[in-house]
């Protein structure tokens, strides 16, 4: 894969439940000669003793991801860790 075929973006992404130190990463890359895949990942590093949180999705049409980015962000902001047992 050439450098020109990979598109990558990384932005800070705060969550009311998981903290200010999240990040959203988008990445588009060729799946084959006819398809372009786009993935979106949300990552949060949580306090010691709790698992880090990662939400990831992908689609074979970058325009679909672009069209639903705002609802994806809204959904990602609702994520919470389950209460400790």
Inter-residue contact 15 to 21 (CB < 8 Å): no
Query: Could you read off the pLDDT of 22-58 as tens digits, one per residue?
Result: 999 999 888 777 788 888 999 988 777 777 788 888 8
Maximal C-alpha separation, the chain = 49
Query: Could you read off the pLDDT of 66-79 as tens digits, one per residue?
Result: 888 899 999 999 98
Residues 6+ apart with CB under 8 A from 52: 43, 44, 45, 46
3-state secondary structure of 16: coil
């Amino acid at each position: 894969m050439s450098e020109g075929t990979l598109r990558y973006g990384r932005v800070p992404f705060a969550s009311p439940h998981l903290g200010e130190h999240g990040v959203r990463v988008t990445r588009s890359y060729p799946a084959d000669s006819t398809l372009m895949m786009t993935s979106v990942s949300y990552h949060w590093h949580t306090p010691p003793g709790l698992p880090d949180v990662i939400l990831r999705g992908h689609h074979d049409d970058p325009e679909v991801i672009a069209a639903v980015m705002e609802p994806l962000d809204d959904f990602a902001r609702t994520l919470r860790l389950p209460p400790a047992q």
